[in-house]
Chain A
Amino acid sequence: MLVVVLACNEEFTESKAIGALSDEALQNELGVDLLLTSAYSVLDGENNKGGADWHKAGDNWWLDVISDDAHKGSTDGDQADLYLLETFDWTSANPYLFGKWKAIFAGINRCNSVMNVIGKIEGTDFSAKEAEARFLRAHYNFELQKMFVNVPFISLENFQATEFNQPNPGAIWAQIEADFQFAIDNLPDTQSDAGRPTSWTAKAFLGKIKLYQSNWSEALTLLTEVINSGTYALLPEFADNFKISGDNSIESIFSIQFTADDGQSYNGNRGGTLNWQGPFGCCGFYQPSQDLVNAYQTTGGLPLLDTFNQTDVASDYGINSDEAFTPHTGSLDPRLDYTVGRRGIEYNGYGLHPGKEWVRSAFVDISGPYSAKKSIYQESETGNMGTGDWGQQRSGINYHIMRYADVLLMAAEAAVETGDNATALTYVNMIRNRAKDMTYVKNEAGTADAANYSIEPYASFADQTMARKAVRFERRLELGMEGHRLFDLRRWGNAAAIMNAYSTNEARTITSFNGDSRPYEEKHNLFPIPVSAIDLSGNILTQNPGF
């Protein structure tokens, strides 16, 4: 018997890893597909590095909270870390920043792993697959760049050499551009899967990168090519962009493909799981600001570019649902009531918004009386609905990382900066005319408009300054509550002025907001690098100035 044991001992001391894929097993076309799918999978932020779903959200909702578009929602003490972000009391230990940081690098390295495997397979042309990976990597790096500004670049070579501790001397625009350029050159013009980028998608993104670097003419060229390609168009109905029926429509450039796949819904929008109130119970986050609501006031169908905060849209802040409330009678941009849920207005098929009863924050909290609307399902579209294990909502509505309206407005912006006001006017009016021609929110009986809506295209832009103002304002109106605002403010260089004015204005109607927020300083144009990231890098990463 001893002999038997001795004889089989070579085999005896080998144990297989059951259910695991080895590196070798992935070195084929199937392996490339599996890894590539997982690179897409992190678009929503969900990854294996821990942290709460909402910290790593792919739809950037809490970055709107930091901007003048939204408040955190719920009570001040609920998710106090977000309260600290909203009120500019930023520390390097804030778990929101760390969650986002880790999620972005999970994405970057999943792309690197695709490229790594492709490099090891001989005899097959994977350039289109590689282009998808590089497109995604550029997207992740762009998210990183926008947030933290001085960032490390983790290359394929770093990945292969397991050298992830790289310094963060500054911007990585060149690397991001190179990836998008590769994607433009190697992606097909059409894809059978709606979730994959095409060469046009990549071109639109490269245009955005140029825009972020104030490289106006190149941006305009790229974005104009996309516009002129005829690949995309505005949907007749603005609101369809935020319905399941509008998923992957002709207006969609690139979206996170959320699906409410029943049960615990791993692939619904887990990052936005807190952002539900009213009919849904939990959790009351992501409330639009009064400032955003005020921005939708119109006169003669046009926005009050400089004076929108001199009058307030009537708010039910401080008024309980069983107390009387007189709705606003002034004229409003009809997009308001597809963006913001407010008292007395129909709410995505769930009936009239009753005000306070549906709002989780109390009057002493900073978040005010409004509810988000674009990220909330339509009552009729049950296919969008998903729940988590404690009953939270995980929506199947796609999040538009970029939609065609955004492309038009970026092109308009680039046009303004290159002195071409006429082109800017055309693009801005395309947006406004769509809003004008769409179906407006109706009253309860369905007999008339729910509010005094009035919107008209601009007749002309008087000068570049006015054009610039109009284009920037239109971005806010069209793309409000879609996760872009903070980065727009940062790149326009006027974030401090706007945010500090916002802080004062907001406190006028939402009195509890008074005094909570610290001033916005230059240092707030960059987030602090998470302290745990610096620690684990062995101090190779350096902290951003001011933190």
Chain B
Amino acid sequence: MKNYLFRSLLMLVFLMLYGFAHAQSISGTVSDANGSLPGAAVLEKGTSNGTTTDFDGNYSLEMGSEATLVVSFVGYVTQEIAVAGQSVINVVLVEDSSQLEEVVVVGYTTQTRGDITGSVASVDMEEATKTPMVNAAEALQGRVTGVTVVNSGSPGSAPKINIRGFGTSNNTNPLYIIDGVQTDDPDVLNSLNPADIDQMNVLKDGAAAIYGARASNGVVIITTKSGGYNMSKATLSVDMYTGVSRVSNLPDLLNAQQHGDMIFESLINSGEVPNHVQYGSGSTAVVPSTLQGTGIPAPVNVSPGGTDWLDEITQVGQTQNASVSLQNGTTTGKYFMSAGYLNREGIQLNTGFKRGSTRLNSEFKISDKVRIGEHINVSFSRQGPGTNQINGALRMNPLVPIYDTAGNFAGAYANSNELGNTANPVAVLERAKNDYNKNFRLFGDVYLEADLMEGLTAKTSISGSLNSFNSRGFTSLDPEAAESISTNTLRQGIDNTNSWTWTNTLNYSKTINDHNLNVLVGVEALKESSKGDGVSRTGYLFETPDFYLLNNGSGTPNIDFAYDSSSSLYSLFGTANYSYASKYFVTATVRRDKSSRFKGDNKSDIFPSFSLGWALSKEDFYPVNAMVSRLKFKASYGELGNQTLPADNPTINISGLSEVYANYALNGSSLSTGAFLSDVGNPNLKWETSKSTNIGVDLGLFNDAMSISLEWFSITTDDLVVRDNSLIPTTGPDASPPLVNSGSVKNTGVDFSLGYSKRADSGLSYNISANISAYKNEVTEWINAFAVGDDFRNGAITRTEEGQPISYFYGRIVDGIFATEAEVAAAPDQNFVSAADGVGRFRYSDINNDGVINDDDRTFIGSPHPDFTYGINLGADYKGFDISAFFQGSQGNDVYNYEKIFTDFPTFFNVNRSTRVIDSWSPTNTGASLPALRNGITNSETAPNSFFVEDGSYFRLKNLQLGFSFPETISDKLGMESLRFYLQGTNLFTLTGYDGLDPEVNSNRGNLTLGVDFNTYPVSKILSLGVNIKF
């Protein structure tokens, strides 16, 4: 009411002024993207004649008609407008993204950008959401220093995020805080519409200590958009794009004739007279016109040249995204609501991800001193099917067509047909099209905030997340397969995960003259539980989804898995920021966590951190017009923990009943129940602790038009938690080895970023930003000689030991191919039957110089860790046109191209190969890249060796966007505030020397098995057309 009166009075004043004054009177509204801006300064240029905007952002000022209006507000780019006879000038201020006054959410508190003393990086979400994203974590790639992101091409699969190297061999997912919801499950971000995100900040150093035992992998703090109080009107935004995605790089495989030639040459080289079911027994392979052999129901025609299976399993996928948001606010309430729909078809047949989500954020003032609010996010997604047929398509025999003449799927029909035993990958994808993983997720928080007294605020919030996951998979009969199944199976799984967090904080802030103090203390309880089971049943009469119910099967149902687990954490924490005259900054933080995952004294620990900052450029003695307009030093030290473990009860031995592994028919007919030790516990287990040191300097040049930030860090993680396979080795029981504190790892590195933006008088504005991050990873202590990674065919590929980086590649060194018998005879013994047998084979280095090549000749053959990763962002706009380009890359990392054991070697003889095998060794091709063709693996050539290690460096145009905003005159007529169209391309080109499908290898294995490329779903090239409308 008071407001209304005030506003009316003002209006009256305006009217009077308008009525009586003939001198130039200018009025209007100053607003930003969220609505009106009260308190903005409006000034006649070159004079002291000025005013500030009122509560509703209105102003009025008398000035000459040739004057220039200067409108400024803290945190926004100052604008100058020539009056040029206008009487109403509405000004929309643009937030200054490089501005030091930006308020950054750093956990339970906020700080202004310029005051931060820790290493806190922020993603420019407006720029990042230009790229069509499924998972918001993709926004971190190349945009934030020190964060390594490896995407999966499979839509709906979370990318792998590592902040500042690999501090653990265990979970390296950062902790995500989404408006107070806390989780380290990266899949949460699949449920969040990236367009809803206002800020995404990454705490990389001791600043994360406020999250104590879960902070050692860094903390990503996401705050979603909210309305503003006192908005002049509701703002409705509509963002839509539609496009297509296609596979970006397919390797060349042999065609039918080349395949036949390869088979024949292999047989001849192996001392056999070629006599092949398909290719005949003549002097050269003859491609048959129909498949030969047994079990073939009708003539099955071989396509001319053979089937290009990679081409057949890939598709041009549709991509659609629409998101609508509405925000508004009055004096006592504000809200933001949004709805989004995303459909991303994969580049393999029938694969894809769909998501519908809605969000409501609101806050109400109950009184002047009490606010209540909530954030609610509801999303539903469907991903499916789970199968990835890249490996199948690489291996499928090219003679087999997709369909036989009757229209049924074609296959190898029988192993004796010499067509390999790979299942028709198109059939696999088609039959799986009704398989799905459905996910319903609800998360958010409710909070109450009260100003108890001047500067003292209490807040209580309860946040929670409910996740209901259900999956269905149906294995259909496949009569055409070489190894066809005899019964079909339906599998269903349900997993329910929920968590809640109750946080209570007291925050006190006080400013006395130049002294600025902010103190926060809090208590928090967190509980996570999950429960699930999976059931399968065989024997379905009909293979249609309408029939897919467990009760329709005829076999005995099996319980495939069942679990029920929980963990909890109870914490006390506090943080204090003190600054003096914006020159000196001190932050101290401490958190005590108590976790259910550990025992006794190891249950709880204290995590402190401390940081300092000095803004040298604010000192009186600092020259006023220095080229370096801002200079700030900062340093921090913090201790952080990692309590996320692959087990909820790691301290105790667990034995379990098991139908599969423990039951036995003691009486010969009926089963007796048995139990076996399945998990070995370690009562002494404690959490990993990282000691993080960060030293940085922030520079502003040319009146802060250019900003430079350089940080050096060193993170030592002690008590690394690893499953100790040496404690329960192969000679031990068949139980999961205990988690033990097995060593220390050190990551040191540098993050560098540079930004420059310029708005020229011509109306052209442009910006450039670049960042580069490097880390060096070294295991500094390890209780065992070494740990090995996952077991592949022929054993483990990766090894972790003291003095080396985590998960380096370990194997034999190939130093050439034997060209003559004399060379074989002179070389160390590789156990060839005869010297002649060794010609054309790999020659291995005799690492221990004992004259014999065996397992003792394995050594370091590569590292998956990059020398550095980088991102470059370029942008410009001119008269409504805008263009932006984003490049991103990785340099110096090795990839173990495990896929080559299938595509380049006869691991499966009759399957297809890469065209690389054309360059196999022969007496007439002694400079070959591959050994002589054979009909089977010989000389251990597919065992881990340096042949498979490749440089995985790449440089990629991640995003290119061209936009056009219609002039206001047109958008106004359409009833819109703004209207912009854009054309956008993602992953348009990649420069790499890597032979595989994609150098971005997300193996989704543990951190002891990094950089192994096997059945990787390649990233796709996406072209889209989009529109942004604001009403």
Contacts and interface: CB of A to CB of B under 8 A. Distances in A.
A48 B416 contact: no
A81 B938 CA distance: 11
A46 B730 CA distance: 15
A255 B740 CA distance: 40
B666 A195 contact: yes
A480 interface: no
Which interface residue of B416, B418, B659 has the most chain A CB atoms within 10 A? B416
Given A12-B570, A15-B566, A257-B665, A166 B731 contact: yes
Interface string A30-50: 010111111011110011111
Interface string B49-62: 00000000000000
A534 B731 contact: no
Interface string B591-626: 000111100000100000000000000000000000
B653 A532 contact: no
A41 B655 contact: no
A338 interface: no
Contact of B910 (A77, A159, A390): A77
Contacts of B727: 162, 164
A539 B785 contact: yes
A518 interface: yes
A536 B666 contact: no
A37 B648 contact: no
Contacts of A196: 666
A267 interface: yes
Interface string B562-592: 1111111110000000000000000000000
Nearest to B935: A76
A18 B565 contact: yes
B421 interface: yes
Interface string A481-504: 000000000000000000000000
Interface in B710-726: 725-726
Contacts, number: 338
A283 B570 CA distance: 56
Interface string B272-293: 1001110000000000000000
A536 B730 contact: yes
Interface string A316-342: 000000000000000000000000000
A259 B504 contact: no
Interface string B481-500: 00111110100000000000
Contacts of B414: 360
A83 B908 CA distance: 12
Contacts of B677: 110, 113
A77 B909 contact: yes
B671 A75 contact: no
Interface string B439-461: 00000000000000000000010
B288 to A, nearest CB: 15
B678 interface: yes
Contacts of B795: 93, 531-532, 535
Contacts of B358: none
A284 B416 CA distance: 9
B732 A5 contact: no
A530 interface: yes
Interface in B380-438: 414-418, 420-421
A165 B603 CA distance: 31
Interface residues of B, number: 114
A387 B554 CA distance: 13
Nearest to B414: A360
Interface string B782-819: 00111010010111100000000000000000000000
B299 interface: no
B666 A257 contact: yes
B927 interface: no
B667 A538 contact: no
A9 B570 contact: yes
B603 A109 contact: no
B570 to A, nearest CB: 5
Of the candidates A257, A258, A283, A363, the one having the most CB atoms from chain B within 10 angstroms of its own CB is A257
A257 B669 CA distance: 8
A15 B674 contact: no
Interface in A70-93: 74-78, 80-81, 83-84, 89, 91-93
B657 interface: yes
A152 B654 CA distance: 26
A509 to B, nearest CB: 16
B654 A267 contact: no
A20 B538 contact: no
Contact of A76 (B421, B603, B669, B936): B936
A69 to B, nearest CB: 22
Given A49-B730, A164-B728, A267 B663 contact: yes
B558 interface: yes
Contacts of B460: 1
A357 B294 contact: yes
Interface residues of A, number: 118
B666 A37 contact: yes
Contacts of B668: 193-195, 247-248, 257, 259, 398
A112 B794 CA distance: 30
A398 B665 CA distance: 11
A459 interface: no
Nearest to B267: A364
B391 to A, nearest CB: 16
A37 to B, nearest CB: 3
Chain B interface main SS type: loop
Given A40-B666, A195-B664, A536-B726, A15 B416 contact: no
Contact of B664 (A40, A92, A531): A40
A13 B536 contact: no
Contact of B730 (A34, A38, A530): A530
A34 B833 CA distance: 51
Interface in B617-671: 648-649, 652-671
Contact of A360 (B416, B538, B658, B794): B416
Interface in A144-174: 152, 154, 159, 162, 164-166
Most buried by B among A159, A166, A364: A364
A266 interface: yes
B555 A262 contact: yes
A13 B568 contact: yes
B993 interface: no
A368 to B, nearest CB: 12
Contacts of A280: 486
A15 B415 contact: no
A113 B935 CA distance: 46
A13 B663 CA distance: 34
Interface stretch (A98-106, A182-190, A228-236, A461-469): A98-106
Contacts of A75: 415-416, 418, 909-910
Contact of A389 (B489, B565, B728): B489
A34 B673 contact: yes
Interface in A529-547: 530-539, 541, 543, 547
25 contacts: A15-B568, A17-B654, A21-B657, A25-B655, A35-B674, A36-B674, A37-B666, A41-B662, A48-B736, A76-B935, A77-B910, A80-B907, A80-B937, A105-B732, A109-B733, A113-B733, A159-B733, A162-B727, A164-B728, A194-B666, A195-B664, A195-B668, A259-B670, A364-B272, A538-B786
Interface of A: 1-2, 5-6, 9, 12-23, 25-26, 31, 33-38, 40-43, 46-50, 74-78, 80-81, 83-84, 89, 91-93, 95, 98, 101-102, 105-106, 109-110, 112-113, 152, 154, 159, 162, 164-166, 192-196, 247-248, 257-259, 261-264, 266-267, 280-284, 356-357, 359-365, 387, 389-392, 398, 512, 515, 518-519, 530-539, 541, 543, 547
Closest 5 CB pairs of A and B: A77-B909, A391-B486, A37-B674, A391-B485, A263-B556
Given A91-B794, A392-B485, 12 more contacts: A1-B460, A12-B570, A15-B596, A17-B652, A19-B656, A23-B652, A83-B936, A89-B938, A93-B940, A361-B415, A363-B275, A531-B855
